[in-house]
């Protein structure tokens, strides 16, 4: 999703001879500047919560050149990485790029896959790794290597080579397992919060949902419930969190330990089972989750 321009508000002291700005406020000028490319997959669903984790990831990437988001499958590593990368796009002159590795089975093809993503050509006597390293050598870029878990050793080798050859490159990897190379910073992605966040971290949407919620207010404020409600109401547009169904929704989210993938799969069953029944049946059989969303399942078949 390359963004070509971005409106930037600049505040400058106006000296003698400078034109009066046409924009509101003294000394404020609006200008369009080129915005670095954002080469990330476009998400089809809304993003929920993660204020604390986003801050942590952004801060860690300030000092670490390789940050790996780890955690069990479906805990939200990929989604958090993409969101952090979006937030950071403006900090990298050559933008943010993602190479998606979930579908790549042969570790030997990793360098070619990355080279292909950048349009870096292999030539006789120059390997794919060298081609990528040369291509990225002077770039100020954040590279997201997504879903490295099944190619950990190959991803580690590639990361070492690129980080050594490209001094301004940073890598944000997602993997169930750490890459375990020097300089790697690891961030364990926690499940979605089951308790409300402190007031200063709440979003406007959270505040709206909790307004007038009475004694189930605390349930409705948690990120896990927010995700369930977002996905359930996408499936059944009339679905709302009410005083009656809130305890069952909270029970589902708690039972699924706040795992985003499992919450999405449960919410996808809402058109066949009322939440109260879903909560009771999930207590006995987690296999109920299978058969919900086709997109979600395809990406997590192995979990």
d(CA 80, CA 196): 19
DSSP state string for 149-206: GGGHHHHHHHHHHHHHH-TTEEEEEE-SS----TTEEEEEPPPPPSSPPPGGG--HHH
| Shortest Cβ 96–ligand ADP spacing (Å) | 17
Q: Which of the ranges 53-61, 77-85, 208-216, 277-285 carries the binding residues for Mg ion, by CB under 5 A?
A: 77-85
Contact string 207-246 vs ligand ADP (x = CB under 6 A): --------------------x-------------------
Task: Tell me the three-class secondary structure of 209-243, residue by residue.
Answer: HHCCCHHHHHHHCCHHHHHHHHHHHHHCCCCCCCC
Q: Judged by CB, which is closer to ligand ADP: 174, or 210?
A: 174
d(CA 214, CA 194): 18
Task: Tell me which residues in 166-185 interact with ligand ADP (CB under 6 A).
Answer: 174
| Shortest Cβ 174–ligand ADP spacing (Å) | 6
- Joined together, the tokens standing for residue 295 give 């997109």
- Joined together, the tokens standing for residue 210 give 């909790």
CA 118, 124, 126, 128 dihedral sign is positive
Using CB under 6 A as the binding rule, whether residue 139 contacts ligand ADP is answered as no
Contact 110, 149 (CB under 8 A): no
Using CB under 6 A as the binding rule, whether residue 50 contacts ligand ADP is answered as yes
Among 76, 95, 191, 292, binds ligand ADP (CB under 6 A): 76
Among 68, 78, 113, 175, binds ligand ADP (CB under 6 A): 78
Using CB under 6 A as the binding rule, whether residue 75 contacts ligand ADP is answered as yes
> Rounded to a whole number, what is the distance in angstroms from the first to the last CA of the chain?
29
d(CA 204, CA 198): 13
| Shortest Cβ 71–ligand ADP spacing (Å) | 6
Interacting partner of 47 out of ligand ADP, Mg ion, none (Cβ under 5 to 8 A depending on kind): ligand ADP
Q: Which of the ranges 5-13, 143-151, 195-203, 244-252 carries the binding residues for Mg ion, by CB under 5 A?
A: 143-151
Q: Judged by CB, which is closer to Mg ion: 176, or 281?
A: 176
- Contacting residues for 246 by C-beta, under 8 A, at least 6 apart: 213, 216, 219, 220, 225
| Shortest Cβ 227–ligand ADP spacing (Å) | 5
Among 66, 67, 77, 269, binds ligand ADP (CB under 6 A): 77
Q: Judged by CB, which is closer to ligand ADP: 136, or 152?
A: 152
């Amino acid at each position: 999703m390359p963004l070509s321009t971005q409106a930037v508000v600049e505040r400058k002291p106006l000296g003698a001879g400078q034109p009066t700005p046409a924009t509101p406020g003294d000394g404020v000028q609006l200008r369009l500047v080129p915005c670095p490319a954002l080469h990330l997959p476009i998400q089809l669903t809304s993003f929920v919560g993660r204020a604390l984790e986003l801050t942590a990831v952004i801060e860690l990437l300030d000092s670490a050149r390789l940050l790996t988001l780890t955690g069990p499958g479906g805990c939200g590593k990929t989604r958090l990485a993409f969101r952090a990368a979006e937030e950071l796009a403006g900090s990298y002159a050559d933008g943010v790029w993602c190479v998606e590795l979930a579908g790549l089975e042969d570790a030997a093809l990793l360098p070619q896959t990355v080279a292909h993503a950048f349009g870096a050509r292999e030539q006789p006597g120059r390997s794919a790794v060298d081609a990528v390293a040369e291509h990225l050598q002077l770039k100020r870029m954040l590279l997201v290597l997504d879903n490295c878990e099944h190619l950990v050793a190959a991803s580690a080798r590639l990361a070492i080579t690129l980080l050594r050859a490209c001094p301004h490159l940073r890598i944000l990897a997602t993997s169930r397992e750490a890459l375990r190379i020097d300089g790697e910073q690891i961030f364990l992605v926690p499940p979605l919060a089951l308790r409300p966040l402190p007031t200063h971290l709440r979003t406007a949407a959270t505040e709206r949902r909790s307004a007038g919620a009475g004694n189930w207010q605390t349930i409705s404020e948690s990120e896990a419930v927010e995700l369930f409600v977002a996905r359930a109401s996408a499936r059944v547009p009339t679905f709302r969190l009410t005083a009656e169904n809130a305890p069952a929704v909270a029970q589902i989210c708690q039972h699924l330990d706040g795992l985003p993938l499992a919450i999405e799969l449960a919410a996808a069953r809402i058109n066949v089972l009322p939440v109260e029944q879903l909560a009771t049946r999930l207590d006995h059989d987690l296999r109920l989750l299978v058969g919900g969303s086709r997109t979600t399942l395809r990406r997590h078949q192995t979990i």
